Structure formats: C-alpha cells, structure tokens
Amino acid sequence: MQQKVSKIGVLTSGGDAPGMNAAVRAVVRTGIYYGLEVYGIMRGYSGMIENDIVPLHSRSVANIIQRGGTILKTARCKEFFEYEGRSRAFGSLKKLGINGLIIIGGDGSFRGAHKFSTEFQIPCIGLPGTIDKDIAGTDFTIGFDTAVNTAVEAIDKIRDTADAHDRLFVIEVMGRDAGYIALHSGIATGAENILIPERKTDIEELISSLQEKEKRKKLVNLVVVAEGDNYGGAEEVAKVVKQRLPNIDTKVCILGHIQRGGSPSCIDRVIASRMGYSAVECLLEGKFNVMVGIVNNKMHFTPLEKAVKAKQKISDDWLRIIKILAS
Ligand code: ADP
C-alpha cells in the first residue's frame, strides 16, 4: 500500500446527508491543488462495480457547496457485500489507474471500505456523512446540523398551530438508533417530553406528566419522539395517549425525509470542507484507512474498523434540563 497516490476516486454511499456536496467539492479542489487526477464514482459502490466513473475538474464542482443531496448520487449496494462484487469494483479502479479512495458515508460504508482496502490493498479514507451523528471518533458528522435545524424550523411551525387549538402534538423525527436529532430539536423547541432510543420509554411517566399538565391547564404540549424509540414511534405513543387521556386533543406529525434535504447549514459546509481537505492530505501523507473526524475542534483520525456506530450515554443532566425547562 506504499504506492504514491496519483489518481483518486470519491464517492458518496449509504444514507444521504446535506453537506455531502461541500465535501465532494473540497476533495476535488484539494486533489487538483496537489496535482492529483480526481474521479467521481456514481451511486456509491454500485458505480464502482458498474464502472460508472467520471473525471472531475474544478468546474465540475462549481455552485454545489450550497446544495443538498449529492451530485454523485448515493445508493445501497448489495453486490458489494460479496467478494465477487468488490473484485469487479477493484477491476474498474485498476482500469483507470485509481489508487486512492475517499468514501463519504456512514458506518456501513466504512465497513465496506475496510474490507475492500484490506482485500485489494487500496488506501481508503472515510468522511462521516450521516444526519444521525452517531459515529465514534468525531464530534460532528456531515448533515446533522442541517437536519436538526430543519426539524427545529418544522417543530416551531407545529407549535403555532398547537397553540391556536390547545393541542398536544406527538412529533416524530429521524433517528433509528440514535436520539440526537430528537434531543437537540426537542430542547431547542421547548418540547415537554423527548423519547429517544437510548432510554427505555416509560409510558406511565409520560401519561402522568401530561395528566399533571392538563390539571394545570397547560394545554399546548409537544412530545418529540425519535423514530427508533422502543415504544414504536409517534403513532404508537399517540395511540396510547388518546386512549388514556381522551380529553386531550392529540395529533401526530411525522417529519420524515424533509430532514435529509435542503441547503446545508454553515456548520455542515465548514466541517465538510475541512474534512474533505484533510482526507486528501491523509492520502498524500500515507495515513491510510482512517476516518477523518473533528474532536475538540481538531482533526482526528480513527481507524476505519473502529469508526462504528457509537451509542453514547445520554447524561441524566440532559433529561433533567428538559423536565425543568418544560414545566
Ligand atoms: P451507511 O453508510 O449510511 O451506514 P449502509 O449501512 O446502508 O449505509 O451501507 C452502505 C453500503 O456500504 C451498503 O449498501 C454496502 O454496499 C456497503 N456495506 C455496508 N456494510 C458492508 C459490509 N459489511 N461489507 C461490505 N460492504 C458493506
């Protein structure tokens, strides 16, 4: 793996996240600055297997820093789980002489990259692109800040209509395995209760807190639920609230995929630019098979095999803050 990197490929893989374009732009322009040839691999690992690879120039990435989605498209690719698929993918890279890869994606994409690089001796660098912020080895992931701000904007609007009708809204935000979007958007919008996968949902506690608020005539209530909460998401929570507290006018709102789209926030554009730049420098310095992260505002490098989904303990303080501030 000591061959000097001269031609690099960049791809976006797995779930899309706003800011991926800013990262692609940073990779392309840094690569060109250092005299490398840069190729865009379309639709994640699928494009690598199918040889759907295009040369990228400085102008190819003009006017994309502010755009959500990814100009390279993204995909989930079953064939890459098999050795045969990965071997075909390597064939495509060999044909073009690509000898370094930058993968923007989540922990699944990094698992694939780790296998690929071990089998075919090709240096790979990962950039954490996921709205869920649940990857070990970084304080930031590309897309989280935009997604959480989209959720906040939407929940603020829901509060207006909840207030007009004295209603309870149970709002579902993204986060199958991690509650960061729920936790942050819930605190930022003054939600009364926040249900997250990291904590077993205590439905009796939720009912009694709503009952107590009903007695105090606090009629506008927002409950923010991460899609992966163990009770089954907003629909299930609302069902039991309606049964047990029929006097409360309860509605459900599932925010869904709007949280993945939209123009990336300033923070996402900046971290994507820093990470993209750093990824190219890693390849040039021979720092292979790591994920580039940011910890305490400094670039931080984690071996790809350790850049896994991180279930962090949510401190009791956070939950106390929610309870006290929503009283
Ligand atoms: P994310 O990268 O957002 O976590 P996925 O878990 O869906 O998304 O992974 C994206 C792609 O990475 C998969 O569709 C597959 O092509 C590849 N991949 C994931 N896990 C593995 C693995 N264990 N071996 C090989 N490829 C993998």
Full domain range(s) for residue 136: 7-143+264-307
Q: Which atom of ligand 1 is nearest to the CA of 15?
A: 3
What is d(CA 50, CA 29) in angstroms, rounded to the nearest whole number? 25
What is d(CA 299, CA 287) in angstroms, rounded to the nearest whole number? 13
Residues 21 and 130 reside in one and the same domain = yes
Within a domain: residue 74? yes
Residues 58 and 128 reside in one and the same domain = yes
pLDDT digits (tens, 9 = 90+) for 18-35: 999 999 999 999 999 999
Within a domain: residue 197? yes
Average pLDDT over residues 135-146: 95
| CB-based contact 47:12 (threshold 8 Å) | no
The values of phi and psi at residue 127, to 5°, are -120, 130
Query: Of the candidates 264, 282, 273, which has an alpha carbon nearest to the alpha carbon of residue 24?
Result: 273
Residue 2: per-residue pLDDT: 54
Within a domain: residue 285? yes
The two beta strands, 100-105 and 53-56, are: unpaired
77 lines ligand 1 (CB under 6 A): yes
Number of domains in the chain: 2
Residues 63 and 130 reside in one and the same domain = yes
Within a domain: residue 130? yes
Residue identified by tokens 């939209």 is 262
Confidence of residue 107 (pLDDT cuts 50, 70, 90): very high
Residue 279: per-residue pLDDT: 98
| CB-based contact 22:82 (threshold 8 Å) | no
Residues 71 and 111 reside in one and the same domain = yes
How many residues would you count in the chain? 327
Q: How remote is the CA of residue 37 from the centroid of ligand 1, in Å?
A: 26
Quote the pTM value.
0.95
Within a domain: residue 315? no
pLDDT digits (tens, 9 = 90+) for 32-85: 999 999 999 999 999 999 999 999 999 999 999 999 999 999 999 999 999 999
* Catalytic site positions: 132
Weakest mean pLDDT among 41-50, 136-145, 303-312 = 303-312
Nearest C-alpha to atom 10 of ligand 1 is from which residue?
A: 14
Confidence of residue 215 (pLDDT cuts 50, 70, 90): confident
15 lines ligand 1 (CB under 6 A): yes
Confidence of residue 311 (pLDDT cuts 50, 70, 90): low
What is d(CA 228, CA 15) in angstroms, rounded to the nearest whole number? 16
Mutate to test the pocket of ligand 1, among 43, 48, 74, 76 (most ligand atoms within 8 A of CB): 76
CATH number of residue 249's parent domain: 3.40.50.460
Query: Of the candidates 192, 182, 187, which has an alpha carbon nearest to the alpha carbon of residue 241?
Result: 192
CATH number of residue 293's parent domain: 3.40.50.450
Residues 225 and 280 reside in one and the same domain = no
Residue 312: per-residue pLDDT: 66
Confidence of residue 313 (pLDDT cuts 50, 70, 90): confident
Alpha-carbon dihedral sign for residues 186, 231, 106, 307: positive
Residues 11 and 139 reside in one and the same domain = yes
What is d(CA 100, CA 117) in angstroms, rounded to the nearest whole number? 10
Average pLDDT over residues 104-110: 96
What is d(CA 25, CA 31) in angstroms, rounded to the nearest whole number? 10
Q: What three-state secondary structure class fits 175?
A: coil
Residues 186 and 217 reside in one and the same domain = yes
Residues 270 and 133 reside in one and the same domain = yes
